[in-house]
Amino acid sequence: MSTPTAAELRAVCHPAGLLDRRSGEHWAGRLYMRQISLQVTRRVVGTRITPNQLTYLMIVAGIAAGAALTLPGLTGPLLAAVLIQVYLLLDCVDGEVARWRRQTSVTGVYLDRVGHYLSEAALLIGAGLHASDIWGDGRLGGWAFLGAIAALGAILIKSETDLVDVSRARSGLPPVQDAASVPRSSGAAKARKIAASLKFHRLVGGVEASLLLLAAGVLDALDGGLLYSRIAVAVLAGVAVLQTFLHLASILLSSRLK
């Protein structure tokens, strides 16, 4: 079987509207990763590798990023940032291969969601362990606890979104439309718009968190301590807790459950 061209793949794997979905496509995908992923997909579609196997690899890369953060010094944040980019790449490639081969499945969607839960939680837990200096005094302390709080918040935020679909399906309602996410109250809608424009909620995402932790790791390497990594973990925990409640309120005040 001949290797498809990038243009042929793009027509099938990047259907109209894919890159324009602000709520569905990550900014890094639109900016650069979808271009890279197409080149990888070209070489994968002719092999026996299945989309679900690629998703499993994505999960491994994401969890490995969190584990990498337990390494001392700048090595941990640097390796974690690289592994998160691999995770993002595989997250693009598995869907592209599935669309090209017409092998999309409920199992694939499920694994993809589980992968995001596990990977982002692992990264934030790893951040807390890194800030705890487990290779120093060996005590976990409050920084590991804050990392766990950030991870729990990240999971709850995703759960709140996914449970909308679960609730609608169990009530016999069709999938929610994007327009339903706008709060019914004009005041709440304005507040949601302001919060969305600040984009602080993105910090607990895998790519953004890994870049924040890498920046903190560089500053720590220059400073000779863990001050900036600890500040980063505190910020991530604070954002995760705040966004958990704001996101829940946004759902309840919208028409997504109507």
190-238 tens-digit pLDDT: 655 655 655 667 888 899 999 999 999 999 999 998 999 999 999 999 9
pLDDT digits (tens, 9 = 90+) for 127-136: 999 999 876 6
- Please tell me the total number of residues recorded for the chain in this structure: 258
Task: Using alpha carbons only, give the angle 100, 118, 144 rounded to the nearest 5 degrees.
Answer: 150
- The whole-model pTM stands at 0.88
pLDDT digits (tens, 9 = 90+) for 80-125: 999 999 999 999 999 999 999 998 899 999 999 999 999 999 999 9
| Number of neighbouring beta carbons within 10 Å of residue 212 | 22
Task: Please check whether residue 45 is in contact with residue 78, taking contact to mean a CB–CB distance below 8 angstroms.
Answer: no
Q: Which residues contact 169 (CB under 8 A, 6 or more apart)?
A: none
Dist CA 245 CA 187 (whole Å):
17
Q: How far is CA 229 from CA 127, 209, 239, in A?
A: 8, 11, 15
Q: How far is CA 130 from CA 8, 22, 78, 142, 180, in A?
A: 44, 32, 12, 12, 40
pLDDT (average), residues 177-181? 67
Domain ranges for the chain? 6-252
Helix, strand and coil content of the chain, in percent to the nearest 5, comes to 75, 0, 25
Tell me which DSSP letter residue 15 carries: -
- The CATH number of domain 6-252, selected from 3.40.1360.10, 3.40.50.970, 3.40.50.150, 1.20.120.1760: 1.20.120.1760
pLDDT (average), residues 182-197? 59
pLDDT for 186 beyond 70? no
pLDDT for 25 beyond 80? no
Dist CA 199 CA 106 (whole Å):
31
Average pLDDT of the residues of the chain: 87
Tell me which DSSP letter residue 33 carries: I
| Number of neighbouring beta carbons within 10 Å of residue 203 | 19
- Give me the pLDDT at residue 180, please: 62
